[in-house]
Amino acid sequence: SSGINAEYGRGEKNFAGPTAHIADGVLKMNRKDIFKNMVKSGVAVKVTGRHVDVPCLNNVLEKQMFLQNLPSIVTSHVLDPQPGEVILDMCAAPGGKTTHIAHLMQDTGTIIALEKVGHKIDKIEKNILKQGLKSIRAFKWDATNAFSETSISVTCPPFGREVFDRILVDPPCSALGQRPQLSNQCRISEISSYPAYQWCFVADAIKMLREGGTLVYSTCSFPVQENEMIVVRVLDTFPEMELVAAEPRLGGPGFPVKGLMEEHASLVQRFTPQHGGVDVDTIGFFIAKFKKLRQSGL
């Protein structure tokens, strides 16, 4: 262990940049194991002494606390759910935002939580049970098939038009904003495929949203193709949708892209290490909020 600005051996090169002494420990796994042999789990360093007075919160007050990153917490507040409303969380696992929304609604109204992967639904239901919430209904369902033009259902998927007061779309993304990441195995072709997939969620969400309703779109990724360019496409494709301020505001403005006016960039929120409004480090994140001014197709 050593202090800030000391020299550390990093592979075959010496690293002389800023460092922070947070703990003493015994090395159990080397760089070759992590980066070359791609060991996916295990203990890399066994900590023998901490130098930061932050307690471990695992299994502490599980029914009273739920660990979330700051931008995810902000996202639920941006949605601004109200008691008694009918809300859709299209990609709900593991349930952090879903349960937060329920608490903000005082556990009244109805929240529909969709997730297509079975074991992820189990996590959502476990969190619902742990927190004693009654307003959430979780379904194992592919949210890209959540809308049906012929459906009249308001209680289970698929749903028809103009059903929900508020919809949260936090779709699958490249997750390049997640930290820490020792390595990332995503190929360029995979990253490039996300915007078209994300659009499927957004387009159907707008059809299911009531006049006067709110849609919040969020990702934990950096590329503008998954974020600002989705906003531009919404505004170009659906004239009934208005981009409004994503408040409360703790992040910075959006990145400049073709078709996104400066005033629109100032309405969205971006969280990045170099591009945020908060004085704490967060994961990379994006939040945009829309209002539906009138029924679709009118």
Structure tokens that stand for 29 in this block: 């796994």
Q: What is the pLDDT of residues 35-66, one digit of tens each?
A: 667 677 788 888 888 777 766 766 677 777 78
pTM beyond 0.75, yes or no: yes
Question: Given this model, what pLDDT does residue 8 score?
Answer: 46
What average pLDDT does this structure show over 110-119? 95
What average pLDDT does this structure show over 100-127? 95
| Confidence label for 185 from pLDDT (cuts 50, 70 and 90) | confident
Beta-bridged to residue 15, according to DSSP, are 8
CA distance 79 to 85: 12
CA distance 171 to 88: 13
- Annotated catalytic residue, options 91, 173, 186, 220: 220
Question: Given this model, what pLDDT does residue 247 score?
Answer: 97
Mean pLDDT of the chain: 87
What average pLDDT does this structure show over 137-166? 95
Question: Nearest-CA neighbor of 233 among 255, 209, 257?
Answer: 257
Question: Given this model, what pLDDT does residue 277 score?
Answer: 56
What average pLDDT does this structure show over 18-27? 79
| pLDDT surpasses 80 at 293 | yes
Q: What percent of the chain stands above pLDDT 70?
A: 85
Q: Between residues 20 and 210, which one has the greater pLDDT?
A: 210
Instruction: State the number of CA atoms in the 13 A half-sphere of 80 facing the CB.
Output: 14
Structure tokens that stand for 286 in this block: 């994006």
Q: What is the DSSP letter of 226?
A: G
What average pLDDT does this structure show over 269-281? 72
Question: Given this model, what pLDDT does residue 41 score?
Answer: 76
Question: Given this model, what pLDDT does residue 11 score?
Answer: 47
Q: What is the dihedral of CA 17, 18, 24, 27, to 10 degrees?
A: -30
What average pLDDT does this structure show over 96-110? 97
Question: Given this model, what pLDDT does residue 35 score?
Answer: 67
Structure tokens that stand for 47 in this block: 């900590």
CA distance 15 to 13: 6
Question: Given this model, what pLDDT does residue 235 score?
Answer: 97
SS3 content of the chain, % helix, strand, coil (to 5): 25, 25, 50
Whether 220 sits among the annotated catalytic residues: the reply is yes
